[in-house]
Amino acid sequence: MSGAASIDLPAARDVQAEFAAWTSHLADERRLSPLSVEAYARDVRFFLVFLQDHLGGPPSLAALKDLHPRDIRAFLARRRSEGLTSRSVMRMLAAARSFARFLERRGKGSASALNAIRAPKIARSLPKPVSATAARQMADVETRAGDEREPWVIARDAAVIALLYGCGLRIAEALSLTRAEAPAVAGALTVTGKGGKTRQVPVIAPVARAVADYIALCPWRLTPDGPLFVGAKGGPLNPRIVQRAMQDMRSALGLPDTATPHALRHSFATHLLARGGDLRAIQELLGHASLSTTQIYTEIETEKLIAVHAAAHPRA
């Protein structure tokens, strides 16, 4: 919330007050993560910056209520001319709609102009998982032999990566774990996902060992309610550190740029499905609200089957 609250808003005071109430609503009632709230707020700020130029002054609630579809089209055209992709434009439109609908529910605005605009079409891209061999290598401290960093840091990065692949966690979910929530061998991990929803994820022995090895080497006192994974100074581990570790591993293993921390979560789902995992069970493990979100992994398997057929069939 602090990031959203600190955003300089080019708008009249009545809009600024409603903006603060909206970001609080996103955090407290919709229970979005701080990063999500900050992203929504940043996108709405871009919209208000445009309106300030487009309308000739800081937009007020009355000005927002009086917007027409042509104003929204002008905003989208401006963002397009600045090189934004369809996905980014769609995200900004969604944020502006969320704010407008919030105002409408409070009797202080209208979402009709934004609702009248059709979101741009985007090409549906399939997740790009890494191979099982590459995923295991990334989570193995031996792969980092010769690394000049401290052994506990290497063990920490390996433990986080093991959780991403071995349990299918999002990076934010892994880094939000407390010391008391550290997984045990042959146990289950309670994960708090998007919207504050919790789920149980089984923990395989290699993952539990990787976490235990890190805890044994960590020089900082890990309190039960404190973060399980800490940075060099003992504070909560920044996701960028994990992303940088993955970048180093990509270079060392010759993997493409698509081998990101989130790709390990895709790999978890894809490899389970390839070995006969039930789609509904995988949905539960991933914490997807809808089965249709999980079904994208069946398309990955279909693509692989087609590729194998094309390469191996005599008449392909």
* Residues carrying an active site annotation: 170, 194, 262, 265, 288, 297
Residue 190: strand pairing partners? 200
Distance between the two ends of the chain, CA-based, in angstroms? 55
- Under the phi-then-psi rule, with left for phi > 0, alpha for psi from -120 to 50, and beta for the rest, what region is 151? alpha
- Residues 103 and 109 sit within 8 Å (Cβ to Cβ): yes
Give the pair of three-digit tokens for residue 266.
């895709």
| HEC string for 219-234 | CCCCCCCCECCECCCC
Q: Which helix (H) or strand (E) holds 91?
A: helix 86-105
CA distance 84 to 259: 24
Residue 230: strand pairing partners? 236
* Dihedral sign, Cα of residue 18, residue 24, residue 27, residue 33: positive
Give the pair of three-digit tokens for residue 241.
């550190």
Give the pair of three-digit tokens for residue 261.
């921390």
